[in-house]
Amino acid sequence: MTNHVETQDASVAGEATRGFTEILALYHGFGRGAQRIEVIENCEFKLKPGKLTVMIGPSGCGKSTLAKLLAGYLHPDEGSLLIDGRHIAGPGKDRLMVFQESALFPWMVNEENALYGLLASGQVGAGARQRVTALMDRVGLGRFRHKYPGALSGGMQRRLEMVRALVNEPALFILDEPFRGLDAMTRTLMQEHFAQMFEEGRRTALFITTDIDEALLLADEILVMSSRPMKVTRRITVDVPRPRTVAGMIKDERMKHIKVAVTKALYSEAIKAFDGSSRAVAAAGFEKFLDTTQ
Amino acid sequence: MGDVMQNHPAATAARKSRTLRAQAAAGARIAQLLLGFACAFLFWYLTVDVWQLPRFANLPGPSEVFSEWFSPDPIYGLSFYTPDYYWHILHSLARVGVAFVLATLLGVPLGLLMGWSQRVREYVFPLFELLRPIPPLAWVPLAILMFHGTETPVIFLTFLAAFFATALNSMLGARSIDPSLIRAARCLGAGEWRLFSRIVVPGALPQVFSGLQISLGVAWFSLVAAEMVSGEYGLGYLINTGYSMATYPTIFIGMITLGVVGYLTSVVIRLIEHALLRWGNDEQGGRS
């Protein structure tokens, strides 16, 4: 295990085989009787090891519920979730999650925050410390190692949370809209940062978003989700090499096609939220939007 | 680049003007503080010494109180120069100290456990909420029946008030921790003990300390009440005997001393809080 932590090459080579995730005939809902809401209905998909899968869907469709099921905070009503063939029974370090909201411990200095997972399992050797130092330098937090999270900006906090998750080498990395609420500039930088970090140590990742451009920038594979009750409506492979940029995406023919496909799939789900005359208005607006992208 | 900026004359000037501004602000604060005190003393002086208003007729004026307080040979037997004065202060301080430490040692862990564990809360909290509203003075007969001597009943009454305030605030502190932090710690593999010691305790600490401030306040409050009932020394006793022996300036000396000593003890707690909660100090845009 210690060797695994210290030699990065070995761990990178090992990543590709870890984190094969299967979601089978999944059902989940909240409430009882008349108050019952079905959130997930017969949802099935697989996450390929070493691939970045982006899950996109209308907001409020149940993506975060699925993330919590995967993390083990919730137990499914029916169906199974498996990682590398094992059932998910509760929270565990093989699946680490980065949330929408910051979950750094304000009373620990940043380095201690990053080391928390290793401290909790008593795995802190000199090698682990070096890795944290290297990762923090890598994401531009080197000077803030002995400061508290309160002194960091929103974007820096997000990066620190990623470092904290990454040093634990999870088999599956779950990111639930991690860049939501950041300003546009920081968000773009964070996306580039994240894509680069992913390329350097490919590990199975599920990235949840509502932003099409973000999905296209990052994904190996895109899962378009239906509105509630949620299931996968389309699965689109993005076989465009990284690094990708927003500017490059406008020129690239393949990217344009993928974007239209994702937009259409997403649109047919989003339109269900409108009714009657407002649906016609929304549809007209969408046609105009498609014209501009083609 | 940072070094270049720091040596730049403009930067030096800016830093200098910043220090000057900070000094000016501190000066203004002290001036305001002194003005507040001056107003209070002026009011006292005018009502008692100058106008001699009917309701204030029996009270000693500031000049009488302070000449007594600073006199090497006080008329009523108590001043800065008499050992008795310090003996009273010491007794009160020791009683509050013992009661406060006991209340903290018992109240903080109990409160944190009540906040952390639903089972402990279900067992203890209803009883706790039933006992909490009973004022310390209602415990006086019980305290005298249960404990012998004069010291222990006084300390017991002081402890009671402090204990409930400490435990309640510690519980609220433990319950106020952001659930996403607990989730994150669990996700990162923290066991129950580590979760409690590294997340619940530090996360509750700001509220625990505001509880300690309240607890210290009510400790002084019930101490003085208890000392008035029983005891041979202490500031509460001093004030009470000042009334029954009609040595009125002594009452004022006791009261002002209580204010000063009480304030100083709360400053000590604040200093400890500041040292322990360093992480709250460099929050962006937070208190600094």
Which segment of A2-16, A211-225, B249-263 scores lowest on mean pLDDT?
A2-16
- A181 neighbors A155 (Cβ within 8 angstroms): no
Q: B93 pLDDT exceeds 90?
A: yes
Name residue, tokens 């094992």.
Answer: A86
pLDDT in tens, B261-273: 999 999 999 999 9
Q: B288 pLDDT exceeds 70?
A: no
Q: Does B282 touch chain A (CB under 8 A)?
A: yes
d(CA B271, CA B263): 12
Report the phi/psi class of residue A226: left, alpha or beta, with left for phi > 0 and alpha for psi in -120 to 50: beta
pLDDT in tens, A91-137: 877 888 887 777 899 999 998 898 888 888 777 777 788 888 888 88
Q: Does A101 touch chain B (CB under 8 A)?
A: yes
Q: Output the six-digit token pair for B2.
A: 């940072």
Closest partner residue to B181 (CB to CB) among A91, A92, A103 is A103
Question: Is B190 close to A116, i.e. CB distance below 8 A?
Answer: yes
List phi, psi (to 5°) of B70: -100, 10
Closest partner residue to B188 (CB to CB) among A93, A106, A150 is A93
Whether the CA torsion B149, B155, B158, B160 is positive or negative: it is negative
Q: Does B217 touch chain A (CB under 8 A)?
A: no
From residue A217, alpha-carbon distances to A140, A232, A244, A247 in Å are 22, 20, 6, 11
pLDDT in tens, A197-218: 888 878 888 999 888 888 888 8
Q: Output the six-digit token pair for A142.
A: 């080197």
**Helices B83-116 and B201-229, axial angle in degrees (round to 10):** 140
Q: A164 pLDDT exceeds 80?
A: yes
Domains of chain A: 2-94+170-255 (3.40.50.300)
Q: Which of B92, B108, B104 is nearest to B264 (CA)?
A: B92
Q: Output the six-digit token pair for B37.
A: 């005190």
Distance, in angstroms, between B282 CA and closest chain A CA? Answer: 6
A83 strand-pairing partners: A21, A86
d(CA B284, CA A261): 43
pLDDT in tens, A39-98: 888 888 888 888 889 998 887 788 888 888 888 888 888 888 888 888 888 787 788 888
Which segment of B8-12, B58-62, B115-119 scores lowest on mean pLDDT?
B8-12
Using DSSP's 3-state secondary structure scheme, residue B69 falls into: helix
Rounded mean pLDDT of B144-152?
87
b/e sequence A126-141, b meaning 16+ C-beta within 10 Å: eebeebbeebbebbeb
Closest partner residue to A120 (CB to CB) among B180, B190, B284 is B190
Amino acid of residue B183:
R
Chain B residues with CB under 8 Å of A150 CB are: 279-280, 282-284, 286
- A174 neighbors A95 (Cβ within 8 angstroms): yes
Q: What is the reported pLDDT for B239?
A: 93
Q: What is the reported pLDDT for B272?
A: 94
Mean pLDDT (chain B) is 88
Q: What is the reported pLDDT for A6?
A: 38
From residue B122, alpha-carbon distances to B114, B126, B200 in Å are 8, 7, 19
Question: Is A91 close to B186, i.e. CB distance below 8 A?
Answer: yes
Q: A187 pLDDT exceeds 80?
A: yes
pLDDT in tens, B224-254: 988 988 778 999 999 999 999 989 999 999 9
Which segment of A44-48, B66-70, B210-214, B224-228 scores lowest on mean pLDDT?
A44-48
A163 versus A100: the higher-pLDDT residue is A163
- The yes/no answer on whether domain B83-280 falls in CATH 1.10.3720.10 is yes
Q: What is the reported pLDDT for A134?
A: 86
Q: B1 pLDDT exceeds 60?
A: no
Q: What is the reported pLDDT for A294?
A: 53
d(CA B169, CA B210): 7
Query: Residue ranges per domain, chain B?
Result: 2-59, 83-280
Which contiguous run of DSSP H or E holds residue B154? helix B151-175
Q: What is the reported pLDDT for A14?
A: 46
Q: A150 pLDDT exceeds 80?
A: yes
Closest partner residue to B187 (CB to CB) among A71, A107, A150 is A71
Q: What is the reported pLDDT for B106?
A: 97
